[in-house]
Amino acid sequence: MRHYSTIDRCIQSLDQAVRSLVPGATTAQRSNPAQGVESSLSIREARHVAGLMRVNHSGEVCAQALYHGQALTAKLPNVRREMEHAAIEEQDHLAWCEDRLKELDSLPSLLNPVWYGLSFAMGAIAGVAGDKYSLGFVAETERQVSLHLEDHIEQLPEQDERSRKILVQMNEDELKHRDTALDAGGVDLPKPVQITMNAISKLMTKTSYYI
């Protein structure tokens, strides 16, 4: 297995950032869960669903940045591999959300570069703090993402099975990532950190729905 230098990993991080932020640059490795499913929405319903999917797309941009930042600073090779593997699975989510936005004649959030930069910095800091905190950061992030997904699933129009299939699969993956992080030694984060993460998440949710 090739060992990458710090410069190599920085170049990889830049490439990953571009792939996460440029529409169409990321492709899914797994089939879209909504493949073969039909949904018919009114104009009003489609706008609301587009807003929800735009939020979820931004959430996946944040997840990519978090994992990339943590992988860059993680101390143990096995933890770095866990972060890189999770990021690959999150790429599927990114591509699926982008596909659904296209179907709804909508676009990703214009604020994604801001969310990526902020999330990358938070992930890198968590990695520097130590692998048990880095893994705990993953677990808390996935817990909060899962809560958002469950709320969005409830908000979907009853007939929108395409979006529902995507969000349900995403939620299953997020919960798996959370459990994997905890099993690998992740610890609960201090309450102030959890509160800060939740506040940032709410800000992203409210702005990305519209912008």
Instruction: Enumerate the known binding-site residues.
Output: 60, 90, 93, 142, 174, 177
- HSE (CB half, 13 Å, CA atoms) of 205? 13
Q: What residues contact 133, with CB distance under 8 A and at least 6 apart?
A: 126, 186, 187, 189
Determine the Cα–Cα distance for residues 182 and 176; give it in Å rounded to an integer.
Answer: 10
Binding residues for Fe cation: 60, 90, 93, 142, 174, 177
Q: CA 202 → CA 99, 103, 209, distances in Å?
A: 24, 26, 11
- Vertex 20, ends 130 and 180: CA angle to 5°? 40
How far apart CA 151 and CA 56 sit, in angstroms, is: 11
Structure tokens at 100: 């659904």
